[in-house]
Every structure is written in structure tokens, then in C-alpha cells.
A = this chain, B = another copy of it.
Amino acid sequence: MKSAAKAVQAEEPAETGAQQIRDAIREAIVERRLSPGTKLSESDVGNLFKVSRTLARAALQALSYEGLVSVEKNRGAFVAYPSPEEARQIFAARRLVEPGILREAAARITPADIRQLKQLLLEEGRLMSERGQTARRAEIKASGDFHLMLAEISGNAIMQRFMEELVARSSLVIALYGQSTASSCGHSEHGDIISAIESNDLDRACQLMLHHIAHIETDLDLRERKSLGLKEAFEL
């Protein structure tokens, strides 16, 4: 899955220790095992992974560059709690870049890619029918992977990395503001997009992609929640 990125530059792991921790925490955030706002103290993270605070700190810093955790000076790191405005910007960014990525991907796509894409779709569908937390988490991941795979196919490692950030942050937004308990991502829409690509109807594919993103956004309740933990919470 990372082959495209490696082809561009000999991107050596460099700091494998912190890298592993970073990836583990990121996965936990994206799969929503860690809720927004959860405190991630350096000591706790270090103890959990059996490393010193130095590495824990480096991992948390790295995650803050991706926007998945916010570190506040002298207060510590927390799983990011994106504001409604930030959520809007994340999806605006996706609407801005994903059609372009789709076009680039379509120009380079191979039959093998399409097969893999359909494979992913199948897996996604299978997980959707299952029940249980584990299946739900895997489904979340699979639905994101669809968008990520398109970015990979596009062959642009920079856009790919950007999309990884956007998809991860989207997961946080959905965890916070998503309403429908059902699947977060319209599954059938992914299939429609593939079909449009196959029939070489790029304009339609882009249109579908925009609708798809808008559809996800529609499911959010982005009203400002001002904590309301004072009196309002009790005066209904």
C-alpha cells in the first residue's frame, strides 16, 4: 500500500521507535478506540509502550503535526477535538482535492488496480453486514481505505500523504458529530464511483465523488455545542 510513496524517495523509517508508537496511537484514534478529548500523558504513553517519555513525546508531537492530537503548552496532549468550523474546513479540503485526485488516478489506473478496488469494496460490504465492535472498526477503516487507494493510484505521494491526514481527521469529525449509527460512509456510492471510472466517464465520477463527500457531511450535526454544562443542561 505504501509502494508508491517509497518509489518517490528512499524514505527511510528513521526513528523506528517513535514511529511505531505514533502508528499505533493513530490507528487507535482512526478506529475510534480513543475518543476526542482523551488525555494522552507522556508518562502513560511511555509506560504503555515500555519506552521512555522521550519517545512517547516524539510520537505525540508527530501526531500533533497531523492534526490528530493537540498538545497544549504545559498541559499535555489530547486526542484532537475538532471544532465545527474545523470540521467544515476538513470536508471543504476534501471536496477541493478529491476530484483532482480522482482524475489523476483515472488517468493511470490499471485493470489490477480496479480489481483491488473492487476487492476492497467487497470486503467493506461484508463487514457492513456483520455486527460487533471489531467489524465496525474494520468497516470504518475499509471505507477510508477506498479514498486512500485512489490517492495511491494517482501516483502522487504528496497528495497521498495529505489525503491520509484528511481521512484520519474525518474519522475524528465523524466520531464527534456523526448522527447515523449506521455505516458512516455510503457504501454503494463507492461502487458507483468505480463504475463511472470503468466507463471512462470522468465528469460523472467527479460529480459522484462530490456528492459522496457532501453525503457524509450531511450526516453531521455541526451545531456549536457550547459545553452547556452550566445551567442549561438542567433547565429543560
User: From residue A99, how far is it (CB to closest CB) to chain B in Å?
Assistant: 9
**Known contacts A8-B85, A83-B9, A86-B9: A16-B73 contact under CB 8 Å:** yes
**Known contacts A65-B65, A73-B15: A8-B100 contact under CB 8 Å:** no
- Tallying the copies of this chain within the complex gives 2
Contact of A89 among B11, B72, B156 (CB under 8 A): B156
- Report whether A100 and B96 are in contact in the complex, using a CB–CB cutoff of 8 Å: yes
Chain B residues lying within 8 Å of A117, measured Cβ to Cβ, are none
Question: Which residue from chain B places its CB closest to the CB of A16 in the assembled complex?
Answer: B73
- Report whether A96 and B104 are in contact in the complex, using a CB–CB cutoff of 8 Å: yes
Question: Which residue from chain B places its CB closest to the CB of A7 in the assembled complex?
Answer: B85
Question: Which residue from chain B places its CB closest to the CB of A83 in the assembled complex?
Answer: B9
Chain A interface, >50% SS class: helix
Contact-residue size bin, chain A (C-beta under 8 Å from the other chain): 35 or more
* 9-residue interface stretch from A30-38, A56-64, A126-134: A56-64
A70-88 contact mask (Cβ, 8 Å, vs B): 1 or 0: 1111000000001101100
Chain B residues lying within 8 Å of A14, measured Cβ to Cβ, are 64, 71-73
Give CA–CA (A71, B16) in the complex, Å. Answer: 12
Question: Which residue from chain B places its CB closest to the CB of A66 in the assembled complex?
Answer: B65
Chain B residues lying within 8 Å of A162, measured Cβ to Cβ, are 93, 162
User: From residue A115, how far is it (CB to closest CB) to chain B in Å?
Assistant: 25
Q: Does A51 contact B (CB under 8 A)?
A: no
Q: Does A229 contact B (CB under 8 A)?
A: no
User: From residue A60, how far is it (CB to closest CB) to chain B in Å?
Assistant: 11
Contact of A156 among B64, B73, B92 (CB under 8 A): B92
Query: Which of A67, A96, A159 gathers most chain B CB within 10 Å?
Result: A96
- Report whether B158 and A90 are in contact in the complex, using a CB–CB cutoff of 8 Å: yes
Chain B residues lying within 8 Å of A8, measured Cβ to Cβ, are 83, 85-86, 89
Question: Which residue from chain B places its CB closest to the CB of A161 in the assembled complex?
Answer: B67
Q: Which residues of A contact B (CB under 8 A)?
A: 7-9, 11-16, 58, 61-62, 64-65, 67, 70-73, 82-83, 85-86, 89-90, 92-93, 96-97, 100-101, 104, 156-159, 162, 166
**Across chains A and B, which 9 residue pairs bring their CB atoms closest together, nearest first?**
A96-B100, A14-B73, A65-B65, A93-B158, A89-B156, A14-B71, A89-B158, A12-B73, A93-B159
